[in-house]
Structure 1
Amino acid sequence: MSISDGEYPDVTLAIIAGGQGRRLSGVPKGLLAVEGRTVVERLLALAPRFGDVLLVANEPGPYAGLGLRTVADEVPGKGAPGGVHAALVAARTPWVLAVACDMPFVQPEAVRVLMDARGEAVDAVCFEVAGRVEPLLAVYRTALATEWGAALAEDPSLRQLLSRYRARLLPEDALRTVDPTLRSLVNVNTPEDLTRHGVTLPRR
């Protein structure tokens, strides 16, 4: 899937589906369903806004029917920083919006806050909520790819990685202004999350 005339033609929407949901009996979390649509399908509703779309998945089989350009981690076993790196390497645009495949409720308004915070002197824009940086609803400059990949050998946290670059950390209030309950940051990792957020397991 490739789109060229969206609101953000210089940005790739990268859906990060690095592994399996071990706490959810190993199901591909992107195929969890909310209101009749899988999480990946819900995220793809954002796709027309972007210049390109990319899926990062180390086990691409479950997503084959979506017709997405798919890549695996370049540096395995590095979690979210590794998934972001794979997207930076594979992107064909100057920026990447990285979104986790288990985030069903990402709001376009939250995306716009990130996009508007970019600038010539900025390499990455992330939300910071309760002292925690949110790596998988964040935008990154693809020029970071080489240095980012080299740094993965040290197993850095995302905060440590970002400290090396010109990162803009947006305060919680910046998100609450457009998403008062922070629903955009909800991710589904456990059986309890399924019940709490009305999410169902994919059909076997």
Structure 2
Amino acid sequence: MIKTSDIETFILAGGKSSRMGDDKGMLRVNGKHLIEFTIEPLKKSGLNPKIIANNESYKIFGLEVFPDEVKGKGPIGGLLTSMVNCKRDHLLLISCDMPFISEDSVAYLLAESEDGKICVSSDGEKINPLFAIYPVTILGFVNSRINENKLKMTELILSSDHRVINMSAMLKNNPYLFLNINTRSDFENLRHSLNK
């Protein structure tokens, strides 16, 4: 188990999405920015998230915003930036485009995590590197992979000491828990599901 007091949380907002054509965290649905659906359950869980983004507009949420240390490297670059700015031993990395993340899922991830390991959520079939806990001790390894242009997060996890946390049981009450908003179609489906 990792306590909320032993962890810092970073939301990966990135920038303009090639598939969406916009900075998706700033898209609005039901009067809220997409990223707010991630910020709210984190705050309710006792976490004080920070944002990794190259867009200063994210400062409107009153949270610290850090630009990428190394630009153009995708999520692993965001992980590196999070680690460089993390003042604790572990960090929770989460994507800005998972609007159905809940307090329960955050609590479960923390409860099942082990000190010193990458602890990555799974829907029972695939792991989700962008809802995972990373020990800051692997900063050097992350940096070396970026320098070698080995940018795949799944490969980073599988080549490190890690634990997969199966959250498939949570999908009964929250079937969209792992839903990512990657395309305009995903965004329209989100809008539709929230208005049911």
Q: Same fold (TM over 0.5)?
A: yes
Are 1:189 and 2:182 an aligned pair?
A: yes
CA distance in 1 between counterparts of 2:175 and 2:145 reads 31
**Counterparts of residues 42-61 of structure 1 (less than 5 Å):** 42-45=37-40, 46-58=42-54, 60-61=55-56
**Counterparts of residues 51-130 of structure 1 (less than 5 Å):** 51-58=47-54, 60-120=55-115, 122-129=116-123
Identity, % of aligned pairs?
25
Note the aligned Cα RMSD (angstroms).
2.1
2:117 and 2:135 in contact (8 A); partners too: yes
Secondary structure of the equivalent of 1:143? helix
179 and 132 in structure 1: CA distance in 2 versus 1, 3 angstrom threshold:
closer
Q: Which runs of 5+ in 2 are unaligned?
A: none
- 1:28 aligns with 23
- 1:4 aligns with none
Residue-by-residue CA offset, 1:11-31 (whole Å, 9 max, x unaligned): 112110112122223x22111
Are 1:153 and 2:147 an aligned pair?
A: yes
50 and 74 in structure 1: CA distance in 2 versus 1, 3 angstrom threshold:
farther
Are 1:8 and 2:1 an aligned pair?
A: no
2:100 and 2:176 in contact (8 A); partners too: yes
Could you tell me the TM-score, scaled by structure 2's length? 0.84
CA distance in 2 between counterparts of 1:24 and 1:51 reads 29
1:126 and 1:137 in contact (8 A); partners too: yes
Deviation of the 1:136 alpha carbon: 0.8
CA distance in 1 between counterparts of 2:19 and 2:151 reads 24
User: 140, 143, 159: which is aligned to 2:134?
Assistant: 140
Secondary structure of the equivalent of 1:119? coil
Q: Which moves more between the two structures, 103-112 or 125-134?
A: 125-134
CA distance in 1 between counterparts of 2:90 and 2:152 reads 21
Deviation of the 1:87 alpha carbon: 0.8
CA distance in 2 between counterparts of 1:152 and 1:182 reads 34
CA distance in 1 between counterparts of 2:107 and 2:127 reads 18
- 1:177 aligns with 169
Could you tell me the TM-score, scaled by structure 1's length? 0.81
Counting matched residue pairs gives 187
Deviation of the 1:152 alpha carbon: 1.4
Structure 1 runs, 4 residues or longer, greater than 4 Å off: none
CA distance in 2 between counterparts of 1:153 and 1:56 reads 20
Deviation of the 1:193 alpha carbon: 0.8
